[in-house]
Amino acid sequence: MKIQLLFIAYLFCFTTIKAQKYEGLALTPPMGWNSWNTFQTNISDKLVREIADEMVSSGMKDAGYIYLVLDDGWMAKERDSNGNLVPDPKKFPGGIKVLIDYVHSKGLKFGLYNCAGTKTCAGYPGTRGYEYHDARFYASLGIDYLKYDWCNTEGINAKEAYTTMSNALHIAGRPIVFSLCEWGNNKPWEWAQNVGELWRTTGDITAKFDGILDHGTWKQLGVMPIADLQNGLRKYAGPGHWNDPDMLEVGNGMTVNEDRAHFSLWSILAAPLIAGNDLRKMSKETIEILTNKEVIAIDQDKAGMEGYKYKVKDSLEIWVRPLSEGDWAFCFLNRSISQKNIDFNWQSDVIFDTVSKRELNTKTNIYKLRDLWLKKDVGTTKKPLKAIIPAHDVLILRLSTKL
């Protein structure tokens, strides 16, 4: 009987656990850089300092990229005798605190990685059983962002694991943006609003526009397969709680057209903009895409209403997003491998968004059209829109009633 009562008490504890997270964090989607897409575990003190320097000198910091996040591989293979995580002494001979202080001195914020399981995805010490211990460690280091992965979690309940870590971060006493990298397996959008500031909606991204990279036991998804999987999730997102379709692959091997389309779609989706390229080797085109403040303004719109796919015809997709102050964003995406002609009559469509309860009616209101990649005004909704969009490219417009 005593054992049964203890078991019932255990179940009660974990079924009634409630998250406590800091309020006021990530009121717009987080922007920054993460080491994984390009460097995996090949990271070092020298690399982080160079990336921090480049975030400032390239104009990325001024464009809004604030978080420098060190992904898997930053720690030694074993905890110390007191159970503490230990920064890899070969990669970070001066320790991690001095590096964090350097990043902070640049006006940037710093993030670290760990995992809800017993080990991280690369086989380093995970946090299972050490949640409060590790949270105090992170707070003592002064980090600002925690990416929390989902490897080696057999038998672990996702909601319980992430809620426990969320509470641990709150009790540790430092405001830390909590990124749930759970891959969407347990539908975090349904329960994570009060747990963290962002949650992954899919598996890992790869630098392919419209394909999948199959590793046998797991797969990486291209940009468009991930975009397709966002359907139906927008009602869960908003200031302080964002759907995360994974990091950016801009500058990692796709064409300029595809990079531009990728960046535009992520902005329409109110996605976190976390660059994953080698900032030290950026082309002029990559810098221009990542630092386009007019497209970034769509992503960072204070109303926080995620956009959606409105219409599809012959591989030409129209994505829309309601913005603050009555504005709208329109993204015409050419998903095909040949150019497409647009002949869009604004007067023929009255759009009513059931999530934001907003209506776009160009019969009763005239909107100014602003091409966000050309950075110039291109007319109004009085006349039909005529344009040519190259393969795997976009035309993204801001519609404004301020003529």
Query: What's the pTM value of the predicted model, to 2 decimals?
Result: 0.94
Give 13's pLDDT tier (boundaries 50, 70, 90).
Answer: very low
- What are the chain's domains? 19-299 (3.20.20.70), 308-400 (2.60.40.1180)
Return the pLDDT at 71: 98
Return the pLDDT at 161: 98
Strand 212-214 and strand 328-334: the pairing is: unpaired
By CB neighbour count within 10 A (0-12 exposed, 13-18 middle, 19+ buried), where does 214 fall? Answer: exposed
pLDDT at 14 over 90: no
Average pLDDT estimate for 22-35: 97
How far is residue 320 CA from its own chain's centroid? 19
Which candidate, 220, 211, 261, places its Cα nearest to that of 393? 261
Bridge partners of 157, per DSSP, are none
Among residues 45, 88, 144, 204, the one annotated as catalytic is: 204
pLDDT at 87 over 90: yes
By CB neighbour count within 10 A (0-12 exposed, 13-18 middle, 19+ buried), where does 327 fall? Answer: buried
Neighbours of 372 (CB within 10 A): 23
Neighbours of 279 (CB within 10 A): 24
pLDDT at 370 over 70: yes
Which candidate, 241, 237, 185, 192, places its Cα nearest to that of 18? 192
The values of phi and psi at residue 283, to 5°, are -75, 165
Return the pLDDT at 103: 98
Among residues 71, 149, 244, 393, the one annotated as catalytic is: 149
Distance from C-alpha of 45 to C-alpha of 74, rounded to nearest angstrom: 10
pLDDT at 3 over 80: no
Return the pLDDT at 357: 96
pLDDT digits (tens, 9 = 90+) for 36-77: 999 999 999 999 999 999 999 999 999 999 999 999 999 999
pLDDT digits (tens, 9 = 90+) for 307-326: 999 999 999 999 999 999 99
The overall average pLDDT reported for the chain is: 95
Average pLDDT estimate for 15-33: 86
The region, left, alpha or beta by phi > 0 then psi within -120 to 50, assigned to residue 216 is left
pLDDT digits (tens, 9 = 90+) for 200-247: 999 999 999 999 999 998 899 999 999 999 999 999 999 999 999 999
Rg, the chain, Cα only:
22
Return the pLDDT at 18: 74
Average pLDDT estimate for 235-264: 98
pLDDT at 5 over 90: no
Task: Tell me whether residue 45 is one of the annotated catalytic residues.
Answer: no
Q: Which residues, 6 or more positions from 11, have their beta carbon under 8 angstroms from its beta carbon?
A: none
pLDDT at 379 over 90: yes
**b/e map 168-188, b = 16+ CB within 10 Å:** bbbebebebbbbbbbbbebeb
Q: For residue 160, what are its two tokens? A: 């319980």
pLDDT at 251 over 50: yes
Q: What percent of the chain has pLDDT over 70?
A: 96
Return the pLDDT at 291: 98
pLDDT at 23 over 70: yes
Distance from C-alpha of 200 to C-alpha of 254, rounded to nearest angstrom: 22
Return the pLDDT at 2: 39
Average pLDDT estimate for 3-29: 63
Average pLDDT estimate for 300-308: 98
Give 402's pLDDT tier (boundaries 50, 70, 90).
Answer: confident
Task: Tell me whether residue 301 is one of the annotated catalytic residues.
Answer: no
Give 78's pLDDT tier (boundaries 50, 70, 90).
Answer: very high
Average pLDDT estimate for 333-352: 95
Angle CA 77–79–80, to nearest 5: 125
Return the pLDDT at 49: 98
pLDDT at 163 over 90: yes
Return the pLDDT at 17: 64
Helices 131-141 and 158-172: crossing angle, nearest 10°?
Answer: 40
Q: For residue 98, what are its two tokens? A: 């001095």
